[in-house]
Amino acid sequence: MIKITDFFTKEPRTYTELNESLNISSEEYHKKILENKMDSHTQIKDAPLFSRRLEIFIKQFFFDRGNKTIILDCGCGLGLIGMELEKYKNFEVFLSEPSESIKKIIDTIYPNKKFLPFPIEKIPKEFNNFFDVIYLREVYPFTRSNDISLHTELIKMLNEKLKKNGILIFEQIKNSEDLFDNLEKLKIIYKKFYLLPVRCFNFRWFHKIYFNIDFLSSLTKLAYKLSNKKINHYIVVKKY
């Protein structure tokens, strides 16, 4: 079995480079973050688009707009999607990321954010039964391994952090070995949603229609297959 800690022994190089630029000055950091390669492990320029789609999805399907929804952006990288998501009404957003470089960046540049500097297995017990939604975008244990024991253990830990009727939302493409391989074996209640490229048709009215009509999602899947490109998904897992 792959150990959970195997995925956190070394942070992405881009995080280290951003931290090194911050050690020089905040101005250097803000220059560095605009370099194209910095998007390789965390969304920067398109963070508002990812958060808009996610906000519409959450409010339309799972939680009443009149009540506060508490969200954890788990494995958030720089946390910019979560920070954008927090701007929407009735959303309270926490960020979590085990990277030491990210911790320093958040503490220095975004000191008022609710940041948990932990991997999944070390999120404190005080957050049990706390979150309505836990969002995981391209989080390594679920995108680089199909070890079912690992996935079982991690999803159990995440479930402990969810309130009754809470949900996990995984956003990821299909890789050679990943969570997709185990969805049926895990005995969980889940549903897959096929996503268009985030820059395409990113309008509120379009998403409201798209997520409600399964035929459109099927067309998206077919278009990706015909073009031989990988498709992005939401995998929604209900608390069990």
Name, of 60-69, 144-153, 203-212, the range with top average pLDDT: 144-153
CA-nearest of 83, 175, 65, 162 to 123 is 162
How far is 71 from 65, CA to CA, in rounded Å? 14
* Residue pLDDT, tens place only, 73-89: 999 999 999 999 999 98
The residues, ordered by sequence, that sit 6+ positions from 111 with a Cβ below 8 Å of its Cβ are none
Q: Is 197 exposed, middle or buried (0-12, 13-18, 19+ CB in 10 A)?
A: middle
Q: Report pLDDT for 105.
A: 97
205 versus 98: which is more confidently predicted? 98
Domains and their CATH numbers in the chain: 45-238 (3.40.50.150)
pLDDT score of 5 more than 70: no
Phi-psi region of 79 (alpha: psi -120 to 50; beta: other; left: phi over 0): left
pLDDT score of 212 more than 90: no
pTM of the model: 0.93
pLDDT grade, residue 4 (50/70/90)? low
* Residue pLDDT, tens place only, 18-71: 999 999 999 999 999 999 888 877 889 999 999 999 999 998 888 766 789 999
| Edge-first strand listing for the sheet containing 162-173 | 114-116, 91-96, 69-74, 131-137, 162-173, 232-238, 190-195
Give the bridge partners for 170, in sequence order.
136, 235
How far is 113 from 93, CA to CA, in rounded Å? 8
pLDDT score of 201 more than 90: no
What is the average pLDDT across 216-231? 88
